[in-house]
Chain A
């Protein structure tokens, strides 16, 4: 083999790779299985808040259905919704209702609620804050209150750590707390992990996190003397929570439908969901719709 042909093969390999990259994300082959064994390819993309649960459940599902090729990826709720709308993935994971996102045609998508996530304000331990009134939280995030001593804490400047604009967690928090008011411009971080680390180490910092990200280095704040616990979310005493959605477009293929059914099964809802810090959809005593209206079950 001379140099020329080696080079030519190299180029061929690279161009194959290039072509492959373009196709890899959009291939959702749905081979119909003749026997009872499920097969096919399921891709679930989107919300990073749902990703750990989806990945764990996906691994368990695949252990039982070895012929199904199931991939779970992050990328953000926006990515999940736009990818499933474009038909590029089988499942779009999202923290928010499709109706809440501009540019998404919600009536074309089918919603599967798979879990509930509670969120609470978290502050740096030095601030000396354990409880706040809802109105005070709003005033802090809109920039009306700038020092912890105004709400009974230390004489320390408040450092607001927000989530990125368009993030599902931020949308949930702003719907429940700000109710239409605009948050003051401040630092923005793009992940729960970054927020967790920064609030723990920055004096005077406040942000908000999903319950599963609480650590003993942070102070989770009660609102109007309601503590952020799963039980309080289930009966809607704690107002800051959202569903974790898995959206599909059109009729899902067999493997996707089976996976969605598995997500709703007792095996997942009663053990895996709780173990990983989420709240089971079966335990909810209330229902929230896309407009935020809550009704008793």
Chain B
């Protein structure tokens, strides 16, 4: 009897203990809750920052059209940029930005893909030990250094080869080529490494040469990844301000050729922002340029998503 009594008692206290434990949050639960709320707080702050930036740039950027009553069509197609005289045709800068971006991407892509193939297929060892650090170093160099080298080396070089002042789209392309090369290369390397091994093995087993395997199987299957890499490179080129501003010459005129001075959206922004007064047309016009830049980077991001989706579908089939 005594024994059973004792057992009952023990059971009771145990169940009491258990109910207490079950009804109160354990340490693990509390940590879980804390972690969750911290993550939500972080997300909240980031969303707040992004949303307020979008709102700020948009509201400032459309003031040109709502307050100063400049027509959107004239802003996008006008070629005369003289904000102090009330003329704000942004086409020269839009064309300039796209010209340097596409030119740099076109020049850089073959080099980047070639380097990436070397690093993944031809000589992975050398690639990892030699090229990887070099590319990482290139990413880390600040853009003002690129610009300074451009001003001291590229501009005089272009002047001696093609004549003119040396400032222009071609110099900007050259500087941007070096700047976007590491971005495109490292992302292409990732997408080449992500190609399933059995693709390569199957190709080789069917008697394809290494070149055939690389060009028809590996590159083909990594195409969405490579396109994404190129677009990321273009986004970087489109948004680069300092280095481009130092070598392009900043002349707000429609670019007629590659060797005459031109300007980009970013170079106009950095040159003009210190000399304009808040709330006046010249200042609002610069915000409108910033809005175009913002919309373009959103567009590049959307493009990356679309390509990634299409690439996924291909693999599933």
Contact = CB atoms under 8 A, between A and B. Distances in A.
Contacts of A11: 38, 41-42, 45
B311 interface: no
Contact of A103 (B246, B249, B273, B279): B279
A187 B167 contact: yes
A8 B272 contact: no
B271 to A, nearest CB: 4
A207 to B, nearest CB: 12
A280 to B, nearest CB: 27
A104 B84 contact: no
Interface string A77-120: 11101100110000000000000011110000000000000000
A264 to B, nearest CB: 26
A4 B272 contact: no
A159 B251 contact: no
A186 B251 contact: yes
B280 A103 contact: yes
Label chain A's interface by main secondary structure: mixed
Interface string A178-219: 000010011111100010010001111100000000000000
B5 to A, nearest CB: 44
Interface range, B side: 35 or more
Contacts, number: 99
A78 B271 contact: no
B271 A4 contact: no
A197 B165 contact: no
A168 B275 CA distance: 8
A187 B165 contact: yes
Contacts of A167: 275
A167 B45 CA distance: 38
B257 interface: no
A14 B42 CA distance: 11
The range of chain A's interface size is 35 or more
Contact of A82 (B31, B167, B278): B278
A78 B276 contact: yes
B116 interface: no
Interface of A: 2, 4, 7-8, 11, 14-15, 48, 74-79, 81-82, 85-86, 101-104, 159, 164-168, 182, 185-190, 194, 197, 201-205
Interface of B: 31, 34-35, 38, 41-42, 45, 82-85, 151, 156, 159, 165-167, 245-246, 249-253, 261, 263, 270-283
22 contacts: A4-B38, A15-B45, A76-B273, A77-B275, A79-B275, A101-B277, A102-B84, A103-B283, A104-B277, A159-B165, A165-B83, A165-B272, A165-B275, A166-B83, A186-B261, A187-B249, A188-B250, A190-B245, A190-B250, A190-B271, A202-B159, A202-B166
- Nearest 5 A-B pairs (CB), nearest first? A76-B274, A166-B275, A103-B280, A103-B277, A78-B275
